[in-house]
Structure 1
Amino acid sequence: MKLTYDQAVTLHRIGQLKRAESAYRELLEDPNVAVRSAYGLGVVLLQLGNAVDALPYLEATSEENPSDVDLINALGAAYQQVGDYQAAKRSFEKSINLCPSHPGALINLGVVLYQMGQFELSIVALEKVIHASPKNGTAYYNYSRSLLALGMLKESESAASKALELQPDVEEVNINLGVTQMSLGLNNKAEDSYKSVLYHNPVSAEAHHNLAQIYLQTGKFEEGWKAFKWRWKTQGFDGAAVFQKIQPWDSIGVLPGRLLVWTEQGVGDQILFASMMPDLLDSVDNVIIACSERLVTLFSRSFPRAEVVSQSDLLLDGAALKAITHQVAVGDLGQFFRHNINCFDQQYSYLIAASEKVKTLRSVYKVRCDNKLLVGISWFSGNPRFGKSKSIDLLQLASQLSLPNVQLVSLQYGSTEVEIEKVKAAGIDIFCDPDINALNNLDVFATQVKAMDLVITVSNTTAHFAGAMGVPCWTLLSMGLGKFWYWFLEREDSPWYPSVRLFRQIEPGDWSQVLAEMSEAFSKWPPSSEKIDN
């Protein structure tokens, strides 16, 4: 029996979304309620997570009802779900123009601005909601996230605590408080927050994954690696589904016929976890490594006992895939080879640059730079979530390193012309090699890094390259969101990379103490007893 429009709305309101969807679809044929039914259908599809199908209905009805605030807001939410943040922003702003105090549109605008990296504007939108509705927990939750992204850690924790007070049973609110606490270094409190989530929801992947980072950062490796496996169920960790269908290798006592080790996450993570490859190759004979295409040449030279291919090529090679009996993600090798901090005692440089090319490039640089000491610098992280907090102003960094016997060499990837011209205008010379593009050819980039006498960098891919090749490297670490677990806590050295020295922020966003310590160390470098011959 065909339902009436009012019955369809009732089904919608009581949460019977699938039945409401069917009812709205039937009512599209009734010209008296077709427009309203299209609106209702678009909203139901949006609530069911099908924004792609919802968009045509919401777009069509918004043309018929251009002043309907809730409709325009729903249209913005659909654009947001499909990743069209600019269109979503325009819709939310239109809703707010129609109704300046509309809490849903203001919160949605704050969220999409956060997703676009416009954190200051996100805060402005969310503060309007908080001012008008001081008991709106959703507004406080999103306000806390934007404050955290700007490195305002204490303010973020305060907002997160308020959100939890207003919405104590909402999982993401509890997790967000744990994230802010962890960023402040309050690991015990953060651990309690995550465990509180797991008490109510034992399969919360995000809580498990965040706990893993605390465990690993504090040296609780057994618990850490176990919880680290939950990363595959969290947003942003896209594992190679084809590889994961192969029998997992989960016991060092099992010798596979042919073992696939596939890398994961960004280039820096792939390099970090590759430090365990020598341990693996000492234990297993028949290994194939599938990595980023840009790392194939470097990994092939560094791990000659394994076959190294790009993941894209392997996925297209049915015969090669069929010959594989077991697989393991490179990040899961820690469960076998890094049980405790003592397992790092035998750590050594493991990536090998092309030695003759290093020698040639170093000679060219020495001639060009009047035989000065070569200090490579990198100051920017392109990480979309944490890059801003990890990066440092180039002029601020370079002004501490300008010495007569030192030639600064840019190791920074990406577009840097404007920043470097600003530094050169201040009388500081930075050499940029036009023949090297760190983004396009990582093997050539490895050659350049290896040619340096010293590398000074923020926590980015450059630090991993230098550490993996045993190049002396000073890494400047931020506090807060950019403080990754693998740098551990407080220590000045890196168990992963013996050649790396760490300089840590004391206050989030404040590099003054780091630069002062680095400048003092640099004034004494190199020690008179040390012969620079990389």
Structure 2
Amino acid sequence: MSQKDDTALARAVAVCRATLKKDPMNLQASFDLGLALTQSNQMVEGLTRLDQVVKRVPNNPQLRLAYAQALLLGKKVDDACMHLDETLRLAPNEPPVLFKLASLYRSVGRLDAAIDCFSRLVVLKPHEPSGYSNLANAMTRVGRFKEAFLHYQHAIALNPQSATYQFNYGKALEEVADYSGAEMAYRAAIELQSEFVEAHWALAQLLWLQGDLEAAWEYYDMRLFRRGFERRTEVFAKPTWDGSDLTGKTLLFYGEQGHGDAIQFVRYADMIAERGARVIVECRPGLVTLFRSLETVDQVVERGQPLPAFDCQLSMMSAPVVFNTSRKSIPGKTPYLYSRPKDRVDLPGDSSTFRVGLVWAGNPDNQPADARRSFPLSTYDTLLTLPGIEFYSLQVGKPAQQLAENEFGSRIFDLGPKLTDFATTAAVVEQLDLVITTCTSMPHLVGALGREAWLVLGAIPDFRWFLEGEDSEWYPTIRLFRQKERGDWRPVMNEVKSALEARLKN
């Protein structure tokens, strides 16, 4: 919150207190004071005052709705939902209330309730396209695609000039693997709004997914203007490298998105150094030690630390554009990252057995991508019965809790607590014979080390793995196992089991 906002809230609190001093029974002033206090993070007094007013005026949907919003701000989700439900009972046919209710329900994951509110809205306002678009978005989230498509089409028919409706329609089409339809929708969105950043980024990923890298580059760099991307003054004060001569110059090669992205594209540091540059790599803290194993990099700087002097800069993810990478020219030489003996972690179990690392989930907050790639630990149950194998969990984060909750968890050595950074993880990976993983940063690490990984992909894979094939042009030591039907992991895991049995025989 800005200082200007803080000042305005402090003034509102003072005005309300002054009013209540003169008129202690002024409900509006008491309610306004409660709102101002909660927005100032003074939750206890703020929520108490709001609760007192709502109890005295129980049948006012606007007051109850505002109270529910304040409760959500105070992270009291259950109480907030109770008041949202009561608001809906009080105002089942009031469009402004329904719209706010739907948005709040959606924010707490109650998508069925959000769909109910949006469905009421389109009945009450049949000529308002935003209602149909929002309803379609919510239905897409719960997999009701056929209904969602009809509502997207209705919204577009009511407002054919909306680039946003076209974009949302494209995202939904991509969820059911209608890639040609999605491409048409993205292109329509860009035609309507040439600087539509998210549409450019979505189209670039879609073209890449389908293998047309050269076409993807036309739209790819627009991601640098996405909402949330930090265009840091200290970086963008210097020119972006365009492929020109670098002799005698220093280039800042910085990580932009996730750990896996940085590991995948930091390989281009070698090619930049070949152009005569002194290369400085900037990355997240967990990657610093690992990236210091890059042979052609002069310096590795942790993100957030002062930057040394440099002449030009380039995002790691933009390197394929500058080098005009095609599928035939992907720099797939591995290893390009290395572990250090000093980071070695002694593994439990029998070192004479075949050692397999397991990862089954990504960051659950990264939606909708995580819903397409992650599966429960129990999906590996068919592998855990195979004799002659020691299994090691490389899973970190909240999904690692499944080890304690699953009956097969005792068959797996949990290494998660030991994986303090990627250098330590690399030292563990070097001791394993194979890593079986879903689409997280792990396959990038294993592939960059030149070690063997089997990557289990969802039916709609991340763009970098393309749509078909068992091999990865990015990592020669990675084998791809592809899910056939969305949500059904059993057939692909049976393929993994068969491959593992064959591997053990050999």
Short-chain TM bin: 0.7 to 0.9
User: Secondary structure in 2 aligned to 1:279?
Assistant: helix
Distance in 1 (alpha carbons) for counterparts of 2:114 and 2:165:
19
* Residue number among 349, 366, 388 corresponding to 2:335 in the alignment: 349
2:260 corresponds to 1:268 = yes
Q: Equivalences for 1:243-322 in 2 at 5 Å?
A: 243-255=234-246, 257-303=249-295, 305-314=297-306, 320-321=307-308
1:189-224 Cα offsets, whole Å, 9 max, x none, are: 112111212222111111111111122222332332
Name 1:337's counterpart in structure 2.
323
1:33-57 Cα offsets, whole Å, 9 max, x none, are: x9999999xx9xxxxxxx989x999
Distance in 1 (alpha carbons) for counterparts of 2:224 and 2:380:
37
Name 1:531's counterpart in structure 2.
none
Deviates more, 1:412-421 or 1:377-386: 412-421
- CA drift at 1:518: 1.6
User: Secondary structure in 1 aligned to 2:484?
Assistant: coil
**Amino acid corresponding to residue 516 of structure 1 in structure 2:** N
- CA drift at 1:59: 12
Q: Equivalences for 1:397-412 in 2 at 5 Å?
A: 397-412=380-395
* Residue number among 488, 493, 502 corresponding to 2:466 in the alignment: 488
Name 2:483's counterpart in structure 1.
505
Assess, with a 3 A threshold, how the Cα gap between structure 1 residues 199 and 155 changes in structure 2: closer, same or farther. Answer: same
Name 1:431's counterpart in structure 2.
413
* Residue number among 195, 219, 229 corresponding to 1:227 in the alignment: 219
Unaligned runs of 5+ in 1: 1-26, 44-50, 315-319, 529-534
Residues 334 and 447, structure 2, Cα contact 8 Å, conserved in 1: no
- CA drift at 1:507: 1.9
Name 1:327's counterpart in structure 2.
313
Residues 96 and 106, structure 1, Cα contact 8 Å, conserved in 2: yes
Distance in 2 (alpha carbons) for counterparts of 1:192 and 1:478:
23
Name 2:11's counterpart in structure 1.
none
- CA drift at 1:147: 3.8
User: Secondary structure in 2 aligned to 1:313?
Assistant: coil
Residues 213 and 326, structure 2, Cα contact 8 Å, conserved in 1: yes
* Residue number among 119, 135, 159 corresponding to 1:130 in the alignment: 119
User: Secondary structure in 2 aligned to 1:501?
Assistant: strand
Residues 208 and 228, structure 1, Cα contact 8 Å, conserved in 2: yes
Name 1:419's counterpart in structure 2.
402
- CA drift at 1:428: 6.3
User: Secondary structure in 2 aligned to 1:508?
Assistant: coil
Q: Equivalences for 1:30-429 in 2 at 5 Å?
A: 63=53, 67-70=59-62, 72-73=64-65, 86=77, 92-116=84-108, 118=109, 121-130=110-119, 133-134=122-123, 135=126, 137-151=129-143, 153-154=145-146, 156-235=148-227, 237-255=228-246, 257-303=249-295, 305-314=297-306, 320-321=307-308, 323-344=309-330, 346-355=332-341, 357-358=343-344, 361=346, 364-365=347-348, 368-369=349-350, 371-384=352-365, 385=367, 386-415=369-398, 418-423=401-406, 425-426=407-408, 429=411
Residues 261 and 288, structure 1, Cα contact 8 Å, conserved in 2: yes
Residues 205 and 216, structure 2, Cα contact 8 Å, conserved in 1: yes
Percent identity over paired residues: 24
Residues 334 and 475, structure 2, Cα contact 8 Å, conserved in 1: yes
Residues 150 and 389, structure 1, Cα contact 8 Å, conserved in 2: no
Assess, with a 3 A threshold, how the Cα gap between structure 1 residues 201 and 324 changes in structure 2: closer, same or farther. Answer: same
When the two chains are superposed, the root-mean-square deviation of aligned CA atoms in Å is: 3.8
- CA drift at 1:461: 1.8
**Amino acid corresponding to residue 479 of structure 1 in structure 2:** A
Name 2:3's counterpart in structure 1.
none
Residues 255 and 315, structure 2, Cα contact 8 Å, conserved in 1: yes
**Amino acid corresponding to residue 230 of structure 2 in structure 1:** G
Residues 249 and 276, structure 2, Cα contact 8 Å, conserved in 1: no
* Residue number among 398, 423, 447 corresponding to 1:467 in the alignment: 447
User: Secondary structure in 2 aligned to 1:249?
Assistant: coil
**Amino acid corresponding to residue 373 of structure 1 in structure 2:** F
Residues 239 and 264, structure 1, Cα contact 8 Å, conserved in 2: no
Assess, with a 3 A threshold, how the Cα gap between structure 1 residues 222 and 156 changes in structure 2: closer, same or farther. Answer: same
**Amino acid corresponding to residue 402 of structure 1 in structure 2:** T
- CA drift at 1:399: 2.3
Residues 103 and 129, structure 1, Cα contact 8 Å, conserved in 2: no
Name 1:47's counterpart in structure 2.
none
**Amino acid corresponding to residue 355 of structure 2 in structure 1:** L
**Amino acid corresponding to residue 186 of structure 1 in structure 2:** D
**Amino acid corresponding to residue 298 of structure 2 in structure 1:** A
Assess, with a 3 A threshold, how the Cα gap between structure 1 residues 138 and 258 changes in structure 2: closer, same or farther. Answer: same
User: Secondary structure in 2 aligned to 1:264?
Assistant: coil
**Amino acid corresponding to residue 489 of structure 2 in structure 1:** W
**Amino acid corresponding to residue 237 of structure 2 in structure 1:** I
Distance in 1 (alpha carbons) for counterparts of 2:405 and 2:75:
35
TM-score of the two chains, using structure 2 as the length reference:
0.81
User: Secondary structure in 1 aligned to 2:432?
Assistant: coil
Name 2:6's counterpart in structure 1.
none
Residues 402 and 428, structure 1, Cα contact 8 Å, conserved in 2: no
Distance in 1 (alpha carbons) for counterparts of 2:427 and 2:257:
23
- CA drift at 1:487: 1.2
2:488 corresponds to 1:522 = no
Unaligned runs of 5+ in 2: 1-14
User: Secondary structure in 1 aligned to 2:480?
Assistant: strand
- CA drift at 1:266: 1.5
Assess, with a 3 A threshold, how the Cα gap between structure 1 residues 127 and 373 changes in structure 2: closer, same or farther. Answer: same
Distance in 2 (alpha carbons) for counterparts of 1:287 and 1:85:
49
Deviates more, 1:126-135 or 1:216-225: 126-135
User: Secondary structure in 1 aligned to 2:454?
Assistant: strand
- CA drift at 1:104: 3.8
